[in-house]
Structure 1
C-alpha cells in the first residue's frame, strides 16, 4: 500500500503524468506523457527533453501497463532528442514521436524523421500552421495536433479540410466539454484530448442505481472518525465481491506475507485500518463507475485527492483539514463516473457541507480554487497553474512537489488495485 512520501526535490527528480487521448467513439486510444517537476515550469524545451529521458530510462512505472493493453504513447521531442536517437528507446508501433513544426527546418531532421517512420514510429506534429515550408513534414505526419478551444465549428471544419490535404489524423486538443467533442466529431475529427471526459454527459444522466447507492453507504461507514472495526470487518466480509478482491490482492506476491490472510479481520490487524481504507476507497469507486473512461477517471480521482491533501499539509497556514480535502478530490469526478447529478450524489457523501458545495462547483466556495488548480496541472496547463498559485499565495515548489508525489502515489495505488 503506498504511503505518503516526504516532499520531493523537484530540481533533482521528475515523475511522468499522462493525459488520455480518445477516439471518436470515446474509446481510449493512448496517452500523451509529460513530466512533473520544476522542469515543467522552466520552459517547453526542457520539459520535452526531461520527459523523453525519464521515459526512456523506464522511470515511468505505468508504461508497461499501457503497452500491455495495446495503447499508444505520445511524447514530445526537441531536435537534440531526435538527433540523439532517443525515440528508439521506446517501442515502435506503440509510440508517437511528437515534434514542433520548426524542428523540421533543421537540415538533418527530414531524414531522421523519415527513418523513424520507416522503423514503425508514428510521427505527430504539434500545431498546424499550413505554411508550405512544412509540406514535407505534413506528408510524413500520422497525427496533427491542434488546440480547438475557442474555435467555432466553421474554423475547425476549415482546419480539418487543410489537414485532409495530407494523410494524417487530426488530434483536437483542449476539448473542454461534451458539446466541443460533438462539434469536432461532426466535422470529422478522430482523436480528442482535453477535459471533456471529466464532464458528465447530459445525454446519459440517470438516477443512481441501487448498487451504486449501497457502495456509497459503505463509503459512509468506512469514513467514520472512530469506526467500529469489528462491525466494519463484518460489513466488508458480507460483500463477496469486495472480500474476494481484497483477499486475493493481499495474498499476491506484491506483499509477500509469510502467512496466508484468511479473513477481513486478519487483514485489518496486519495492515492497519488507515492503509486498508485507501484501497477500499478506490475499489468502491471503481465498482460504482459506469463511464467508458472509468480507469482514467479512477486514477485521476485518486491523484486529485492525494494532491489536495498534500497541498493542505504543506501549506498549514490555510487551516484546511488534509483528510477532508483528500475526500473532496476523490469524490470530485463522481458525477461523471456515475452518470448522476452531483446534487443527488452529495446526499450520500460523508463530508461537511462546505465540501459538498465545492463538489457542486459553487463559485463562492473557498475550496473550489484548489480543485481548479488540480485540473490545470492535470491538463498540463502550467501557465494557468502558475497564475493560480500566485493568486492563492501558494509556494510553487511545494505545489509542484505535491503534484509529483500525488501522481506517483495514485499510479502505485491504482496499479496494485488493478493487479
Structure 2
C-alpha cells in the first residue's frame, strides 16, 4: 500500500518538456526530454532517471506509442549505471564525446549498448581520437547551426563508413531541413517541426470499469441521483474535477461543499450530466496505471464513512469523512503537493487542514488509523483505536466492508 505520509521527491515537482525528433519522411521518431522548472530550463539528467525509476507512468504516454526517449547522462550517472532505470527497448543514452575519454566510460557504454540501449553522441567534432565512440554510436548529433551545406559535408567526411544515424538539431526552416537531408542526415529536431511541449508527471487517470459503469448510469432514462452520487464519490479523479469545476468563478458559490450529494444539488442534474459526458468520454482513452490508487482512495473513503456511522458519539459527518479519505491520496496521484491541491477544492477548512496534515487537526488521527489498518500495522492501529475510544470489532468490520465495496466498484458489472 502507498505510504501517503512520504513527502514528494524533487522529481515529482518538475515538469518534463519533450522536444520531438522526426525521421526524414517527417514521421515521429521519438522525443528528447529535459526538465523545466520556474520557467527556466534546468539540469535534467538526474531528474529523468529518477522519474523513470520511481514514477514510470510519467513516461508511459510516450512509451506506449512506441517512440524512443533520448536524454543526456553525465559521468557519474554513467558510472553509477543509472541508465538501467530506463527501458532498454525505448531509451537512448546520450553523452558528450569528451566523456568518452574518462576512465571506464568506454567499457560501460559498450556494455549498455550490448544490453540493448542505443548510444547517442552530442558535441560531435569529427576528431580521430573519438573514432571508437563514433563506431559504437547508434546516433550522432551533427552541429548544423550557422553552417553551409559544404561545411557540414566536410565535417561528415570524418565519419564515413559508420552505421550511426545522423541527428540535426535546431532545424528552423525548410531550407535547413532540405540541406541536412541532402548530406545524409536522417533524424531532425527543431522549430521547423514543432516547439517543445510539456507533459505532466503523474497524470491522474480513472479506472475504465468505473467509467463505463458511471456512463451507463448517467444515460439511464430515470437515473437514481443518490446512487449516482455514491458512485461518483467513490472515484477520486471524477470527484476532484467536479469540485474544482464548481469552485470556478463562474459559479460564485457562497457555501462550502460538504459532499458529492451536496455538489449535485447545487449544480443540478442537467448541467452535471452534460459535464460528466465530456469527462467520462475523455477518460476512456486514459491509462489504467492509477487503478490501484483509485481503488485504495475509494476504499479509504468508505472506511472512514463507516467508522463515523458506527461511532456517532464523535459527531463527525460521515459524508465529509468519505471525501477526506477519497482525496487523501491526491498528492500521490497528481504528483503535486497537497497544499496546492486543496486550493482548488471548495471544501471546509478543517477538511483542507486534514489533507495538508495540520498537526492539531481533529481528523488527523482517523487518517492515521486508516493507514495503519491498510498496512496491517496492528499494534499502531490498536493504540489509535484505544486513543479514539473506538470499538475494534466495528473498525475491522468497517475495513472489511470497505474493501469489498471498493472491489465491487472496480469491476465492470459491480453493482
TM-score, length-scaled by structure 1: 0.46
TM-score, length-scaled by structure 2: 0.46
Larger Rg belongs to: 2
Compare relative contact order (CA 8 Å, sep 6+) and give the higher one, 1 or 2. Answer: 1
